[in-house]
């Protein structure tokens, strides 16, 4: 189950009229946005009612069957298909319960977190996105327990989501591939970790055949991946002291 299935996102804010150049374009932009918002709102309420009627046993509240932010995210992800969104929502909510997402704490993932394999960066990137950094060379799937790895991944995603500014919807994932070896390869972990955008930094030659195996599993999410250098991370995604420590000079 991909972590992406449990990511609730915020409702979009209507853009300010002052962002448009001409009077005519302002009117068109605002009308278009209002129509889009109204249609989205109708679908959100439709999904909400169907879940209440047919799946009343599901929990309510944040990340529950009546969480309108999460409903909207799944509608978008399923191209506004009500039935598809409901099917995914049910799976996601049940999975959160079974996995015990709400029970995860700093203490519960402390041991695996101390490996330094992943962390949420203190600063947002230049696009105001929370940042999750994964240090691939510190990930050893044959040594570390898979369930503990997944718990850490989910906990960090939830932590990153809590840092989302209002109106923002994406998390930036940065996977540091410097020093990566075959002992660090883990197809399950790569497919489990799905974010708004993912940077593969300084990927070595040995990573290429692994990537060819992972790509078909990620399907449309492949378009969210960018291979880049440490220098690109510094210059294009952060400013000054906001650069993650392991990407500084």
Q: How far apart are CA 183 and CA 141, in angstroms?
A: 8
Alpha-carbon distance of 19 to 22, in angstroms, equals 10
Token digits for 189?
């972990």
Residue reference for tokens 């995210």: 73
Task: Assess contact for 10 and 69: CB atoms under 8 A.
Answer: yes
Give the whole-number percent of the chain exceeding pLDDT 90.
62
- What's residue 22's pLDDT? 53
Q: Does the pLDDT of residue 21 top 90, yes or no?
A: no
Helix (H) or strand (E) holding 200: strand 197-201
Tell me the C-alpha distance between 108 and 94, whole Å: 21
User: For position 57, what pLDDT does the model report?
Assistant: 94
Q: What is the pLDDT of residue 168?
A: 81
**How many Cβ atoms sit within 10 Å of the Cβ of residue 213?**
11
The mean predicted confidence, pLDDT, of the chain is 85
Helices (H), the chain: 23-54, 68-77, 82-99, 110-113, 146-161, 187-192, 208-218, 230-237
State yes or no: pLDDT of 229 exceeds 60: yes
Interior/surface letters 1-18, b for 16+ CB within 10 angstroms, e for the rest: eebbbbbbbbbeeeeeee
What was the pLDDT predicted at 25? 60
Q: Which residue has the higher pLDDT, 27 or 9?
A: 27
Q: Between the ranges 2-6, 32-36, 229-233, where is the mean pLDDT highest?
A: 229-233
128 φψ region: left (φ > 0), alpha (ψ -120 to 50), beta (else): left
State the pLDDT at residue 11. 30
240 in the Ramachandran plot: left (φ > 0), alpha (ψ -120 to 50) or beta?
left
Burial 161-196 (b: 16+ CB within 10 A, else e): bebbeeebbbbbbbbbbeebeeebbbeebbebbbbb
Average pLDDT over residues 77-98: 93
Q: Count the Cβ atoms, other than its own, within 10 Å of residue 197.
A: 17
pLDDT at 20 over 50: no
Question: Cβ distance 203 to 180 under 8 Å?
Answer: yes
Kindly list the distances between the CA atom of residue 100 and the CA atoms of 154, 155, 157, 162, in Å, as whole numbers in the listed order. 10, 10, 14, 18
- Residue 1 above 60 pLDDT? no
Longest CA pairwise span in the chain (Å):
62
Asked if 215 and 198 count as a contact pair (C-beta separation under 8 A), the reply is no
pLDDT exceeds cutoff 90 at 193: no
């Amino acid at each position: 189950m991909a972590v992406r299935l449990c990511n609730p996102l915020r409702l979009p804010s209507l853009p300010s009229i002052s962002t448009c150049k001409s009077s005519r374009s302002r009117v068109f932009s605002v009308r278009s946005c209002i129509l889009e918002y109204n249609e989205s709102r109708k679908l959100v309420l439709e999904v909400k009612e169907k879940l209440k009627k047919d799946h009343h046993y599901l929990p309510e509240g944040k990340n529950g069957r009546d969480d309108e932010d999460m409903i909207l995210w799944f509608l978008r992800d399923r191209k506004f298909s009500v039935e598809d969104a409901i099917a995914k929502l049910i799976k996601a909510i049940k999975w959160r319960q079974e996995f015990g997402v709400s029970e995860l704490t700093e203490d519960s993932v402390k041991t695996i977190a101390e490996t330094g394999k992943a962390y949420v960066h203190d600063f947002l990137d230049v696009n105001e996105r929370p940042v999750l950094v994964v240090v691939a060379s510190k990930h050893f799937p044959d040594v570390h327990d898979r369930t503990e790895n997944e718990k850490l991944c989910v906990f960090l995603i939830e932590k990153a989501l809590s840092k989302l500014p209002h109106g923002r919807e994406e998390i930036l994932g940065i996977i540091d591939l410097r020093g990566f070896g075959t002992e660090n390869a883990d197809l399950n972990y790569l497919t489990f970790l799905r974010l708004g955008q993912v940077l593969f930094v300084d990927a070595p030659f040995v990573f290429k055949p692994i990537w060819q195996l992972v790509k078909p599993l990620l399907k449309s999410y492949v378009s969210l991946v960018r291979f880049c250098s440490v220098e690109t991370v510094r210059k294009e995604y952060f400013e000054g002291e906001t650069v993650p420590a392991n990407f500084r000079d």
